[in-house]
Amino acid sequence: MPDLPLILISAAAVFLSGVVQGATGFGFVIIAGPVLATYLEPTLVVPVMVSLGFVVTLGVLYHGRRWVDVRRVWVLTLAGAAATPVGALLLVSLASGTLKLLMGAVVVATGLAMLFGLQRATRHERAVSVPVGLASGLLAGSAGVAGAPIILFFANQGVDPRMFRANMVFYLQIVNMVALPSFFVSGVLTADVLTLAAVLLPASLVGMGVGIWLSSRLSAVLFRRAALVVVLIAGVGAMAAGIAGL
């Protein structure tokens, strides 16, 4: 377990990421994960963030359940679930610095692509869902940032915002359900992980509630851009920590 100052910093990070998640439908692990990875080991950060992400988004999934389109995302979900245990093996096989660099690079690339609106829709969505899901599953198990490829994929396809949010959470919940037992088998779902997740859960839930409250009171465009700037800063920090640890 980290000491008290690091726990307080972690609580602030998950609160902020919860605000972004509640307001925009993305950002919980993508923001908090890289922040925590600058001072904690990935073998602790990844299972903690996956555990928290599973719990805090249950309400979002329930609220948006009517917008979940299982027929559209079942191939994506199966591919992601299949690759997640392989990612969990990478989590315990790769060096800490490599994992931090991977996490930061994926987050920065995602943030830049969204910030500049890079988009090229494909007409073969189901076929493309397979490599996207496989990449997401590998990242889910190894770096905890399963949402990064899915965010870009859905944005690229111009998915309706309500369906974007609901399908994203549905997908992540299924992948997380596979990731958690995979972490247990690989030996990283420890008592320290569960304790830290429990300690950070209240800040995560409060942040999520604040974000949902803000979502109808602030400019969605401005809030989204501000969130992407935070994503980029978090990602660069994780990359720097990864390079320092190589």
pLDDT at 199: 96
Distances (CA, A) of 106 to 49, 84, 103, 122, 149: 16, 16, 5, 21, 9
Q: Taking Cα atoms as reference points, which of 243, 28, 15 lies closest to residue 146?
A: 28
CB 236 within 8 A of CB 108: yes
CA distance 58 to 205: 11
**pLDDT tens for each residue of 76-102:** 999 999 999 999 999 999 999 999 999
pLDDT at 131: 94
DSSP reduced 3-state for 144: coil
Question: When comparing pLDDT for 118 and 196, which is higher?
Answer: 196
CA distance 87 to 141: 4
pLDDT at 58: 84
Contacts with 15 (C-beta within 8 Å, 6 or more apart), sequence order = 203, 204, 206, 207, 210
**pLDDT tens for each residue of 45-75:** 999 999 998 998 887 788 788 999 999 999 9
CA distance 199 to 7: 8
**Average pLDDT score over residue span 112-128:** 81
**pLDDT tens for each residue of 12-26:** 999 999 888 887 777
**133 pLDDT exceeds 80?**
yes
Contacts with 198 (C-beta within 8 Å, 6 or more apart), sequence order = none
pLDDT at 139: 93
Average pLDDT, the chain: 89
CA distance 126 to 213: 35
For the entire predicted model, the pTM comes to 0.89
| C-alpha dihedral, 115 to 117 to 120 to 125, nearest 10° | 60
Per-residue pLDDT band for 28 (boundaries 50, 70, 90) equals confident
